[in-house]
Amino acid sequence: MKQKTFKGGIHPLDRKELTSSKPIETMEPPKILIIPLIQHIGAPSKPIVSIGDEIKRGQKIGEPTGFVSASVHSSVSGKVIDITDSLNAMGRLVKSIFIENDFRDDTIHFEEIKDYLNLSPESLKERIKEAGIVGMGGATFPTIVKLSPPKEKPIDTVILNGSECEPYLTSDYRLMLEKPFEIIEGLKIIMKILNVNKGYIGIEDNKPEAIKSLKDVVKNERDISIISLPTKYPQGAEKMLIKVITNRQVPPKALPMDVGVLVQNVGTSYAIYEAVRFGKPLIERVTTISGEGINEQKNLLIRIGTTIEDVINFCKGINGRNIKIIIGGPMMGFAAQSLKTPIIKGTSGIIVLKDEDIIDSSNFLNCIRCGRCINACPMGLMPSMLSIYAERGFYEGAKEYNLFDCFECGSCTYVCPSKRPIVQLIRLAKSQVKP
């Protein structure tokens, strides 16, 4: 039987073989860590420590300032040596807490609860909120907000995203192989909070070992199904997952909750389990370090606040002269502006590309109206028109072509024969007009 799929999409060279067989390795934290107070969509946290304070691993150092916000915790014990601006992954200055590691790893008391599934939904949500958990697939939306839908929009289905369709990235894959029980328990917690009795985990069919790993755990679970999905980018996008798994169509400008679905990343599910079961805040994450430009490719468990420079040094440095470092995946990630940029909650990968893997789009050509970007767009948009309007400064005109329905997957840029930076032009247009 032919597998269900979505319209459009592409099949880029995935290069996952560089790290898919590499077990998760723990990286020791460096001497200095930089912990931004905004590692999530929404309002930044406010610092609740001062320069000179001695702090412990797991201690809250940033408090949410709104409903859409998240707590920030120290990933090491040590001393606060500065609170000032630092560059984030998008090259913006954000207030950050600089911590000098004392290498003792003195840790606050984490309250362990063995019968966590007997807790009330409100108690479960409170532990998740206190842990500062956000979406770990890259979107970094505060998890507590997703778990608190309006009463008029009840959720009846939960989907965990195990697609990991971005090239090079294998951190979720390794989690599914090494921590399948914990991921499933995280899903059960989510389902209990939302009073949902149907859960799915969607995994691309190029990951048969991960599918088997999770199926072995849920073989006696009636309410949880593991779904094998066609390998196609961007299979892991929320709207694509929902369409393929439930056959529900999320309307333009709507959210998954509008069709009764909640989507979380498998890494987020694992973090939820650790927070609820052990009281552990989100202070470390698994990140893929890959690309032909780095000497040792790895899947690393990294403390939040570790800089890219420290990670690269741990992986024996870079090789080659013309190097580009991507934070995240090569399709939706951002070029690093500084090696002092820290790993944050949403950093799924650090990809080091050599010159031969980089396409120079600085002298891009005019659109030749070939239509390839239109065929590739999973949202059914006209990326060619969006880019033309943005290029000429007609930003309001771009809105007429459903500018804000684009989630910047990069499929259009990938297939463009004129090498036009379509996604970058769309981002420019979005920055100039209101939704």
pLDDT in tens, 97-113: 999 999 999 999 999 99
Amino acid 110: pLDDT: 93
Question: Does residue 364 lie in a domain region?
Answer: no
Considering the domain boundaries, does residue 5 fall inside one? no
Which of 278, 295, 322 is a domain's end point? 278
Per DSSP, 107 falls in state: B
Reported as a pLDDT band with limits 50, 70 and 90, residue 3 is low
Would the pLDDT of 315 be above 90? yes
39 and 132 together in one domain: no
Q: Are residues 161 and 255 in the same domain?
A: yes
Q: How confident is the model at residue 323 (pLDDT cuts 50, 70, 90)?
A: confident
Residue 16 located in a structural domain? no
Average of pLDDT values for 271-283? Answer: 98
Single out the residue in 312, 330, 357 at which a domain terminates: 357
- Looking at the domain assignment, is residue 65 inside a domain? yes
**In this structure, are 173 and 256 located in the same domain?**
yes
Q: Rounded to an integer, what distance in angstroms lies between the CA atom of residue 253 and that of residue 398?
A: 15
Q: Are 148 and 274 found together in one domain?
A: yes
Domain end marker among 278, 298, 320: 278
* Vertex 416: Cα angle to 414 and 421 (nearest 5): 75
Residues 336-345: what's their mean pLDDT? Answer: 95
Residues 90, 205 share a domain: no
- Tokens of residue 154, six digits: 């009840």
Does 229 reside within a domain? Answer: yes
For residue 309, is it within any domain? yes
Question: How many angstroms separate the Cα of 62 from the Cα of each of 137, 165, 187, 258, 345?
Answer: 22, 33, 27, 32, 14
261 within 8 A of 241, measured Cβ to Cβ: no
Work out how many domains the chain is built from and give that number. 3
Poorest-pLDDT segment among 150-154, 208-212, 293-297, 321-325: 321-325
Q: Which of 19-28, 234-243, 361-370 has the lowest mean pLDDT?
A: 361-370
Count of Cβ atoms closer than 10 Å to residue 220 Cβ: 6
If asked whether residues 268 and 287 sit together in one domain, one would say: no
| % of the chain exceeding 90 in pLDDT | 91
CA distance 36 to 71: 11
CATH number at 305 reads: 3.10.20.600
Q: Which is nearest to 344 in space by CA: 384, 288, 304?
A: 304
Look at residue 253 in the predicted model and tell me its pLDDT.
83
> Which pLDDT does position 2 carry in this prediction?
53
Mean predicted confidence (pLDDT) in 351-379: 87
Q: In what order do the strands lie in the sheet with 157-161?
A: 224-229, 199-204, 157-161, 261-265
CB 426 within 8 A of CB 383: yes
Domain of 379, in residue numbers: 372-432
Q: Is residue 183 part of a domain?
A: yes
- 266-278 vs 121-130: helix crossing angle, rounded to 10: 100
Question: 265 and 331: one domain?
Answer: no
- Whether residue 127 has pLDDT greater than 70: yes
Q: Residues 31, 117: one domain?
A: no
Residue 60 domain-assigned (yes or no):
yes
On whether both 54 and 70 belong to a single domain, the answer is yes
Domain of 241: which CATH number? Answer: 3.40.50.11540
319 and 248 assigned to the same domain: no
The alpha carbon of residue 217 and the mean position of all alpha carbons in its chain are separated, in whole angstroms, by: 24
Average pLDDT over residues 54-58: 98
Same-domain status, 121 and 246: yes
Q: How does pLDDT run across 224-249, given as a tens digit for each residue?
A: 999 999 999 999 999 999 999 999 99
Which amino acid is located at 125 in the chain?
A: K
CA distance 425 to 395: 10
Span of 2-11, 195-204, 217-226, 328-337 with lowest mean pLDDT: 2-11
Q: Which of 55-59, 240-244, 316-320 shows the highest mean pLDDT? A: 55-59
Same domain, 75 and 135: no
Distance CA 67, CA 286 (A): 27
Q: Say yes or no to pLDDT of 1 above 70.
A: no
**Alpha-helical regions (H) of 1-55:** none
- Is a pLDDT exceeding 80 seen at residue 358? no
